[in-house]
Structure 1
Amino acid sequence: MNLPDADDPLDNAVVAARLFTLAPKLFGGMVLRGSSPARDALVAALGEAIALRRMPGHVDDERLLGGIDLAASLSAGKPVRQSGLIEEASGGALIAGMAERLDASIAGRLAQMLDAPLDEGQAALVLCDDATEPDEAPPVSLMERLAFLCDLSASRRWQGVELAPAAGNLADVAPLDDDAMKALAATAAMLGVDSLRALIFAGEAARGLAALAGRGSIIDADLSGAVRLVLAPRATRLPPQDAEEPPPEEQQEPPPPPPDGERDNAEDSDQQQQEPDLSEILVEAARAAIPADLLAQLAQGKAPRRSSSSGTGQKRKAATRGKPLGARPGMPRGGAKLALIDSLRAAVPWQQVRRQEQGASPDAPILMRKEDLRIRRFEERAARVTIFAVDASGSAAAARLAEAKGAVELMLAQAYVTRSEVALVAFRGESAELLLPPTRSLTRARRALSELPGGGGTPLATGLNAARECAEAVIARGRSAALVILTDGRANIAADGSPGRPQAKADAEAAAKAIYARGIDTLVVDISARPGPEGAALAQALGGRFLALPRADARMLQAAINAAQPALAA
């Protein structure tokens, strides 16, 4: 089957969906990125071709894998099994919305489902990725096991989506020969796709394209289509450009013509040499199919990053509130809540044995034991506190303090959205002072920031120690802390208040190592007119990141901090 040059991402997605419905378990499934009418239309068409079973975002192991039907078991007086979503979707596919937020434990269960043998009749998987940031994506363990990654966020049409039946059968298509597999492998290597699963998917997709067209063997167009559908969306680098043609050699007198028999052989050899290599055809097909946004990233040498952190605070287990997780065995004490239904479900399978042991009648109440008790688990994001440590010394103090004030106010304006707080430490002369304790109050911050002092020496070690103490206090209260240090790194006041650059530098390095040992996220920002090497050296000692932002204003500073926070939290 020849793939047309698609002007809309939906065109390739429809072909991928036809391949998927041809052999759902073989291809594993699809990732459909971008909430749009095009995706809704494609999902509706998939629902008409195969059985789709919706998976709720809060699904737990019991509902996914099956278990004891508590109500039926209590009514019947014996364990009654309840089927899970995977079993109910057998032969079809599970569809998961907001897949970028899928819990890691559920992703592991789904990966086990996809790894099951083909003859077990397990379900395939369709992931709807609603992420808006480039670094957000469904779990890599699932994307690795799904053949088709389709980005429909830029699609501009949604009408007329139909999945026409195949003209042939996949079982009737001959396997790929060695030359075709070598060409696919070479193309995958040029695109930086190092997954063996992706290579296998590409080979099966080529056979599937031949089956859609009613052919019994693949042609070059099928291989090109498989590259466009499977390998191009996974590219992590651009294929190398064609080498420049060598300059033409000086014209020489043509040699005498060979005899007739040798002439025919020579002409056949020339024709073979003029035929383009199959891998070159596939590379060109991949280059044409790489999405524009991914193409721009790869052109800049930036491979796609997949990060699950958002910079709004680290995840942590909680006993009383947050996102519900699966119950676990335990005693309901220390604030933990009893999971009554899960406890009963754990006790029901043992009732017949326990009643026989105790000589109780079959109608006796449920016999509970300590090991049956289950407690609820929750996960919540800790509030994130960004601590600004501002160098208020020297002639550049006014500029640094002005931009720090503006950045603090801008970050506080979004505090209620990101569940973040802001604190401010200023150091100058021989001391450091916590001018603004962690707060979300914009009024309080403006009052504290209205009259910040400036000028004097640079007690960098004292400032770093004060920032570390503030961060440790934040962490002790169950929140996550990040340090943003605005300085050029040129210390001239030691930790004991005495002047002298050598001792001040040594004390600052010791204070930085103490922060690094504590595992506190740090970002060093040098907004001086001429950034020197001291700021980068300080960031290295802190084990953090360094940004040189000469002449940065408050909004630029805020944007840089927000951009760095996901990497700091990773």
Structure 2
Amino acid sequence: MSDADDEARWADAALAAALIAINPTGLRGACIRAPHGHARDRWLGLLRDYLPPVEPLRRVPVNVGDERLLGGLDLAATLGAGRAIAQRGILADADGGFLVLPMAERFNASTLAHIAAVLDTDTVVLERNGLASRTPARIGVIALDEAGDDEEPVRASLLDRLPFLIDLSGLRAKHVDATVFDADAIALARTRLARIRGDDLCEAVCSVAMKLGVASVRASIMAIRAACALAALHGRAQPTDQDAACAVRLVLAPRAAVLPEQAAPSETRSDPPPAPDESGRNEPPPSTAGESDPHDDGDESDRPDMPLDELLLAATVAAIPRGLLQRLRVQDSGASRARTDGRAGALRQSMRRGRPAGTRPGDPSAGIRLNLVETLRAAAPWQPLRRAARAPSLARRVEIRRQDFHVTRYRQRTQTTTIFVVDASGSSAINRLAEAKGAVELLLADCYVRRDQVAVIGFRGTDAELLLPPTRSLIRAKRSLAGLPGGGGTPLAAAIDAGIALAEQVKRAGHSATLVLLTDGRANIARDGSGNRERAESDARAAASRLRAASITTLFLDTSPRPQVAAALLAAAMDATYLPLPYADAASLSSVVKGARAPARR
């Protein structure tokens, strides 16, 4: 991106911080995607400066347990007093402030569900260990997303409740050092907000959300609240069309799942077009109260004569990052497969090793670890009853029974093997093999970091051959691919069978598998080696059905000069992601494979 684009991204991020500070109860926070660094720290510093002093930012550890988060039994006090004594949790203590979730992508679903429930109800409900209470907790959340391209994103249950999804990746110090807003102007805007309503914007904003494929109604509500906060910041009695356009651009554009038909060509432009409002990407509003905004004088007479929903849609589409919709198409094409095989670093449950993922009742045996603290916590409420049933000389001891035992659960990332099944038949096989070799070499560079592996199967003539067993060795990959000749028939059924066999072997070893099939889909060699085209196509369809039943994540890359209907139908039969790539080079092929393997971000 250019410096102008980066400066515009920072201006939007700073504006989002100001809007949160103006309406902290209605705009409950943001998700900041960026590694640890100056840009992220600067944004958090701005938010801290803009918020009232009584609303602190409190960090939550990634491995926080339910007892510490929600409150519950104070174990030491309970064991000392001989009766149940409760303690407040982080959520109750943070009432009136914001929680900061570092590495939010690593928080487990249970923890985020508790936080989401408090965001919805402003109440912490505690019912465990013989305790029951309801404590007020009006909180906001700043989720810090540090995930790489091949890691799990922050869970949708939390993102759906945060108004702003902000990407600060790649911003340098020169882009973020300027302070955009004055804290006094923001404090004055907070006093104005109660008198501003955005009821007139509801229909237009909801229409834009539907056209962009934003299913959650929360996003539309948050966009309207952002428009009202913008009006308060500008000193207006009601939000204008420009306020609404800026709000939907900030809230809805990062959530876009489809691109409206009339706006489709915008992805091919070299630079994003300006929004139809006077302020372009919404230059910063006045830095102090009472000053006029040179970019926005409130006069809407010059704006295009079009319905409000079309005006808002044009402003939002102009802000959608280039290439986003193409990535969504690739990700959505595989979304119907409810499985995790083949996703880089897929998380699986384990009882022996990995990242701690909570506890459960159970016996510590066969290497399963006892969680002593949770075991004592489960036993503590029963001590008065157990104490009354034993001899006075044993009254001071803590009695633990089998039903009190709790063991620790873990999650570990599985190794992923990408299996290339390469069509080496026909006159253009040399080009396809060159693409596959280059893609394998590029993917291997990432495999060293993720501990993933790559395998290659070539097929030509009458059979398929395993050229490269699963490996991370770049030298071995080059040697195995170098001697593969081209030409001959297309034994597609045999190739699919070989891919299934290797993928199942990988899965039996406890790893994940992704199958990448490079072919034009024109089968002409049957399973028995005969040259009967009709039988060869029938065998290929049967093999595709087997592949679908095996639940193996598959990418079908159609390498023919023109996309083939038969290839698309075969890809559908195997439940594969179909991508026509007649002119793909090694770099683009590698990018497509990594993009399809990476989890979708919404």
TM-score surpassing 0.5? Answer: yes
What residue is the counterpart of 1:26 in the other structure?
Answer: 26
CA deviations 1:155-210 (Å, max 9, x no partner) are 81334364325337659834638545455555655665554333433444455456
Give the conservation status (yes or no) of the 8 Å contact 1:93–1:126.
yes
User: Bigger CA drift: 295-304 or 391-400?
Assistant: 295-304
Give 5+ residue unaligned stretches, structure 2.
Answer: 1-5, 124-134, 264-300
| Partner SS state of residue 397, structure 2 | coil
Quote the Cα distance in structure 1 between the aligned partners of 2:150 and 2:191: 35
Within the candidate set 320, 324, 331, 1:294 is matched to: 320
Alpha-carbon distance between aligned partners in 2 of 1:98 and 1:545, rounded to the nearest angstrom: 30
Say if 1:8 and 1:474 are closer, same or farther in 2 by CA, change over 3 A. Answer: closer
Could you tell me which amino acid in structure 2 is paired with residue 435 of structure 1?
L
- Conserved? CA contact 1:79–1:349, under 8 Å: yes
Alpha-carbon separation, structure 2, partners of 1:397 and 1:379:
43
Spell out the pairing of 1:465-480 with structure 2 (5 A cutoff).
465-480=497-512
Corresponding residue number in structure 1 for 2:484: 452
The answer on 1:41 being equivalent to 2:42 is yes
Alignment of 1:203-242 (within 5 A): 203-208=224-229, 218-221=237-240, 224-225=242-243, 227-229=245-247, 232-235=250-253, 236=256
Given the alignment, which residue of 211, 219, 238 partners 1:198?
A: 219
For 1:182 and 1:452, the matched residues in 2 are separated by 61
* Structure 2 counterparts to residues 226-375 of structure 1, below 5 A: 227-229=245-247, 232-235=250-253, 236=256, 280=307, 284=311, 287-288=314-315, 290=316, 294=320, 296=322, 311-360=343-392, 363-375=395-407
For each residue in 1:277-336, what CA deviation from the matched residue of structure 2 results, as whole angstroms up to 9, or x when unmatched? 998467646755x49651545898978979998931422111222221011111222432
1:157 corresponds to: 176
| Counterpart code for 2:67 | E
Aligned to 1:257: none
**1:146 Cα deviation (Å)?**
2.5
1:104 corresponding residue in structure 2: 109
* Residue of structure 1 equivalent to 2:155: 139
Residue pair 1:12, 1:229 contacting (<8 A) in 2 also: no
Structure 1 stretches lacking a partner, 5+ long = 1-5, 243-273
Matches within 5 A, 1:526-545: 526-529=558-561, 532-545=564-577
Matches within 5 A, 1:501-512: 501-512=533-544
**One-letter code aligned to 2:48:** G
Offset, 1:456: 3.5
Q: What is the one-letter code of the residue matched to 1:53?
A: R
Against the structure 1 CA distance between its residues 346 and 106, is the aligned structure 2 distance closer, same or farther, given a 3 Å change threshold?
A: same
Residue 110 of structure 1 and its aligned partner are, at CA, apart by 1.0
SS at match of 1:317: strand
Give yes or no for the alignment of 1:497 onto 2:529.
yes
Does the aligned pair in 2 maintain the 1:173–1:211 contact within 8 Å? no
TM-score, normalisation: structure 2: 0.76
In 1, Cα distance between equivalents of 2:439 and 2:508: 26
SS at match of 1:167: helix
Aligned residue among 90, 108, 113 for 2:118: 113
In structure 1, C-alpha distance between the alignment counterparts of 2:523 and 2:600, rounded to whole Å: 25
Matched, 1:410 2:442: yes
Distance 1:59 1:124 in 2: 18
Q: Which amino acid in 1 is paired with 2:252?
A: R
Number of corresponding residues: 530
Q: Which stretch shows the higher mean deviation, 193-202 or 438-447?
A: 193-202
**Which residue of the partner structure matches residue 89 of structure 2?**
84
Deviations 1:323-371 (A, max 9, x none): 2101111122243221122212221222112212335567432111112
For each residue in 1:363-420, what CA deviation from the matched residue of structure 2 results, as whole angstroms up to 9, or x when unmatched? Answer: 4321111121111111112111111222333444444444433433332233112321
Deviation at 1:517, TM superposition (A): 0.8
- In 1, distance between residues paired with 2:487 and 2:62? 55
Which residue identity is paired with 2:29? G
RMSD: 4.0
Retained in 1: the 8 A contact 2:48–2:56?
yes
Is the counterpart of residue 58 in structure 1 residue 59 in structure 2?
A: no
CA distance in 2, matches of 1:112, 1:38: 30
SS at match of 1:491: coil
| Cα distance in 1 between the residues matched to 2:467 and 2:11 | 58
Report the AA paired with residue 173 of structure 1: A
Contact 1:238 1:298 in 2 (8 A): no
User: C-alpha distance in 2, partners of 1:328/1:567?
Assistant: 28
Q: Give yes or no for the alignment of 1:390 onto 2:422.
A: yes
Report how far residue 462 of structure 1 moved. Answer: 1.8
CA contact (8 A) 1:89 1:123 kept: yes
SS at match of 1:536: helix
Question: Could you state the TM-score of these two structures normalised by the residue count of structure 1?
Answer: 0.79
Counterpart CA distance in 1 for 2:563 and 2:235 is: 66
Q: Secondary structure, in 3 states, of the residue corresponding to 1:331?
A: coil
Question: Do 2:14 and 2:46's aligned partners in 1 also have CA atoms closer than 8 Å?
Answer: no
After superposition, the C-alpha distances for 1:17-49 in whole angstroms (9 at most, x for unaligned) are 344334433332233344564542342243353
> Does residue 173 of the first structure (1) align with residue 194 of the second (2)?
yes
Pair 1:558 & 2:577 matched: no
Q: Structure 2 CA distance, aligned partners of 1:152 and 1:278?
A: 35
Distance in structure 2 (CA, Å) of the matches to 1:351 and 1:24: 44
| Pair 152,304 (structure 1): closer, same or farther in 2 beyond 3 Å | farther
3-state secondary structure, aligned to 1:327: strand
Identify the range of structure 1 (24-33 vs 190-199) with the bigger mean alpha-carbon deviation: 190-199
Question: In structure 1, the residue corresponding to 2:187 is in which secondary structure?
Answer: coil
- Tell me which amino acid in the other structure corresponds to 1:330: G
Cα drift, residue 505 of structure 1: 1.3
CA shift for structure 1 position 555: 3.5
* 1:535-555 alpha-carbon deviations (Å, 9 max, x no partner): 333222211123333354433
Judge which range, 506-515 or 223-232, deviates more: 223-232
One-letter amino acid of the counterpart of residue 294, structure 1: I
| Structure 2 counterpart SS, 1:26 | coil
Structure 1 residues 72-111: Cα deviation after superposition (integer angstroms, max 9, x where no partner): 4444444443322111211111111233443322221111
Q: 1:256 maps to what in 2?
A: none
- Provide the rounded CA distance (Å) in 1 between the counterparts of 2:325 and 2:550: 38
Shift of 1:114: 0.3
SS at the partner of 2:188?
A: coil
Instruction: Provide closer, same or farther for how the CA distance between residues 530 and 128 of structure 1 changes in structure 2, counting only shifts above 3 A.
Output: closer
Provide the C-alpha distance between the structure 2 equivalents of 1:143 and 1:421, rounded to a whole number of angstroms.
32
- Give runs of aligned pairs for residues 175-190 of structure 1, distance below 5 A: 176=197, 179=200, 181-182=202-203, 184-185=205-206
1: CA distance between counterparts of 2:594 and 2:208? 37
